[in-house]
Each structure stands twice: as C-alpha cells, then as structure tokens.
C-alpha cells in the first residue's frame, strides 16, 4: 500500500495544496526526501505564482495529480548540501525553476537543453525517479539535485527575482535563440502581463528597439514610461497596425488566450520571426500564405536549459532586471488565484513563504 505524503519521506514538510479540481488551496502536511549526496536542501523564502499554477490546480491541462502543491519560481537559502555537491554551500542564495530532473543522456541533455528532454521531470505534479510525486514551492523547504539549482547573485532581490526562474527564462531563451538580441533590431512583445513585462526589460537591456502590442490602450503609459518600451501598438486599431506593417525583425507572443496571428505576421519584415511562448488552450488559426510571401518563420520556445537559466539570472543581476511584483501572504493565495484569472495583477504575485507560511503542527 502506498504511504501517505506525510510518511513517504523522512523529513517533515508543510505547504499549501489543492486536493481536487476546485483548485482551492489549503494547509497540507507532507514530507521531503533526505538530502542525497548530490542534493541541495533549502529553506523556501519566496515563491512566485505562475499562470500555469492556476491551470494545474484546476487540472485544466488534464495532467494534474492530487494533492498538488504548485510553485516553480522558488527561491531561498541553502540549509544542507550532500557530500558530493560541488557548486553550493550552506547559506547560499539559490532558486529552483520549472524542472528538477532529466535523463542526462539524450541529445537534448548533452546540449544543455534539459527542458526538451523527453524524460524531463517537472518541479511539481510529476513522478520523480523514486516513484514519488514532486511537490512545488508553496511549501517551507525544497530538495533538488544540484544540477537543477540556480545560484542567485547577491544584488538580485529574492522576492522580485523569483519570477525570473519561469517568466524570465521563458522570454530570454527565444530572444537569444532566434537572434532577436542584436542592438538596433526591432522586436514586438505581444501582451503586457507576467511574461510580457519581463520580455520588454530583457530586450531593452540587449539594446533592442521594443514595441509593445496590446489590445488595451490604457497600458500605453505603463509600457512607455514605466517599462521603457520605445512604442506602443493597439492591436485592434487597424490604422496603427497598417502603419507598422513590415517593420519588425521579430515578435515574442506571450498571450495564452485565443487571438488572431494574421495581423502579427503582417508586422514582420521579410524573414521575420513570430515566436510563441504563451500556451492557448485551443489551437490557433494559422494563415500560411503570409508566411510564404515573406519567408517568415513561426516558432516556439519553452523555458530554457539549466546553463542558460543561470546565464539569464546573471544577466538580470548585471542589468538590474527584476519582475514587477505584489508580495502576498500564503493565506491570500486563493484570492490571488481569482485575481490572476481576471489578470488583476501588476505583474506577478509572489508569496512571502518565509514570513507567512506557518505549520499548524
């Protein structure tokens, strides 16, 4: 018979979990594995709330395993390291993002693309090597193989740095891979949410000219004055869209809802690239003719490998890039999920785990 989550590992842990598709989170006692020889154990101080947490607690992608502790933007301070750990020591500031395991032997793993490994293990809601379920960062402690742990530079604040472990790498990786990181290039960012606002900051730090593309005109001041975008385009305004035809080298599309691709393809120069990083639940309509007529590319990207994730965090620290956050206590998390559903957050909720997560034991 399977052991209860509280008893399957030696170290008692505490977090907040969803028990069913209602997605309602509540206090939950469970256990973490003992620190293995290559493991890093850390006290969780902050954890960002990603839009995928909302999908997962409600099983909207059909893969959730309950009880489910979400959270893959996890930062804290190391409390214990295994005997063979080389990169970290007690007291270091560290983070864990979207994955905690991979096969380490396929082509993807050999090329530092663990995020595309067919056996990649997600930080929560997945089966670990030992057959137990992984639990995320809405909890007091975290244990991870050191390979999947990121060092957080001292000058990067932990609370506002946490969302970079998912949102940050999700936009940094395609900017680099698709060559949209050259000074003087013109890149569009579709959607000014958790991903979009960070994409603007990274692109600007790379020396790129940035246009924010949004359905809501009321975000113009925010985009230009606060985030430093060069221009703002209302995607529903035909005149604005027409005036910007064929002006962009690339577009990072962060939108997770149904939306038309035709106007976006039209904004691209010949050989321009439209890169999808949002994940709409239903298939989008793809008009092929405009791709053919300009040798344009439609691509995708999903987080990044561990080497690139560390590179992204170091770049963020060097250029003072952080997420714009609203810090909340753990007992506000269900309200935060409701607000996230209505996109009522600028731009990322971060749970103050260290100060507000208290075990009822």
CB atoms closer than 10 angstroms to residue 335: 11
pLDDT digits (tens, 9 = 90+) for 160-217: 999 999 999 999 999 999 999 999 999 999 999 999 999 999 999 999 999 999 999 9
Contact assessment for residue 345 and residue 333, using Cβ atoms and an 8 Å cutoff: no
What is the largest distance, in Å, between two alpha-carbon atoms of the chain? 66
Q: What is the mean pLDDT of residues 81-90?
A: 98
DSSP assignment string, 84-138: T--S--TT-EEEE-SEEE--SSSHHHHTT-GGG-TT-EESSSSB-TTSPBP--SS
Which of helix, strand or coil describes residue 148? helix
pLDDT digits (tens, 9 = 90+) for 96-119: 999 999 999 999 999 999 999 999
The 8-class DSSP code of residue 285 comes to P
The separation between the first and the last C-alpha atoms of the chain, rounded to the nearest angstrom, is 25
Strands (E), 195-344: 209-214, 231-234, 248-253, 268-276, 297-300, 325-328
pTM: 0.95
- pLDDT bin (cut points 50, 70, 90) of residue 358 is confident
In the numeric block, which tokens belong to residue 107?
């082509």
Quote the pLDDT of residue 361. 54
DSSP bridge partners of 44: 76
CB atoms closer than 10 angstroms to residue 2: 8
Quote the pLDDT of residue 360. 60
Quote the pLDDT of residue 5. 87
pLDDT digits (tens, 9 = 90+) for 222-277: 999 999 999 999 999 999 999 999 999 999 999 988 999 999 999 999 999 999 99
Arithmetic mean of pLDDT over the chain: 96
pLDDT digits (tens, 9 = 90+) for 276-335: 999 887 899 999 999 999 999 999 999 999 999 999 999 999 999 999 999 999 999 999
Quote the pLDDT of residue 6. 87
Q: Is the pLDDT of residue 157 over 70?
A: yes
Gap between the Cα atoms of 87 and 170, Å rounded: 24
- pLDDT bin (cut points 50, 70, 90) of residue 143 is very high
Which has the higher per-residue pLDDT, 281 or 49?
49
Quote the pLDDT of residue 279. 86
Gap between the Cα atoms of 98 and 156, Å rounded: 19
For the chain, counts of helices (H) and of strands (E): 12, 17
Which residues, at least 6 apart from 190, have a Cβ–Cβ distance to it below 8 Å?
196, 213, 214, 235, 251, 252, 253, 254, 255, 259, 264
């Amino acid at each position: 018979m399977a052991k209860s989550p509280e008893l399957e590992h030696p170290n008692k842990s505490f977090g907040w979990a969803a028990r069913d598709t209602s997605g309602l989170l509540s206090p939950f006692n469970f256990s973490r594995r003992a620190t293995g020889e290559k493991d890093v154990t850390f006290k969780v101080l902050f954890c960002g709330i990603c839009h995928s947490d909302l999908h997962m607690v409600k099983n909207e992608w059909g893969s959730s395993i309950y009880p489910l502790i979400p959270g893959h933007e996890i930062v804290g301070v190391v409390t214990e390291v295994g005997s063979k750990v080389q990169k970290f020591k007690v007291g270091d500031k560290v983070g864990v993002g979207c994955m905690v395991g991979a096969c380490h032997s396929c082509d993807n793993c050999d090329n530092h693309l663990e995020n595309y490994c067919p056996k990649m293990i997600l930080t929560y809601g997945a089966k670990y090597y030992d057959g137990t379920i992984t639990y995320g960062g809405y909890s007091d402690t975290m244990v991870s193989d050191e390979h999947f742990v990121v060092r957080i530079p001292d000058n990067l604040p932990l609370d506002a740095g946490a969302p970079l472990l998912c949102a940050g790498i999700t936009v940094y990786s395609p900017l680099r891979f698709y060559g949209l990181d050259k000074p003087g290039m013109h890149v569009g960012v579709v959607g000014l949410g958790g991903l979009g606002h960070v994409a603007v900051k990274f692109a600007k730090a790379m020396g790129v000219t940035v246009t924010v593309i949004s359905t809501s005109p009321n975000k113009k001041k925010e985009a230009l004055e606060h985030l430093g975008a060069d221009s703002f385009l209302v995607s529903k305004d035909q005149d604005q869209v027409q005036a910007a035809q064929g002006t962009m080298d690339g577009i990072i599309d962060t939108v997770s809802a149904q939306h038309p691709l035709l106007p976006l393809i039209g904004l691209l120069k010949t050989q321009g690239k439209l890169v999808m990083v949002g994940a709409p639940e239903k298939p989008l309509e793809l008009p092929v003719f405009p791709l053919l007529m300009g040798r344009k590319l439609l691509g995708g990207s999903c987080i990044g490998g561990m080497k690139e994730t560390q590179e992204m965090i170091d770049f963020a620290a060097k250029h003072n890039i952080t997420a714009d956050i609203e810090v909340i206590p753990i007992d506000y998390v269900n309200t935060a999920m409701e607000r996230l559903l209505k996109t009522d957050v600028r731009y990322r909720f971060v749970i103050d785990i260290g100060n507000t997560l208290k075990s009822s034991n």
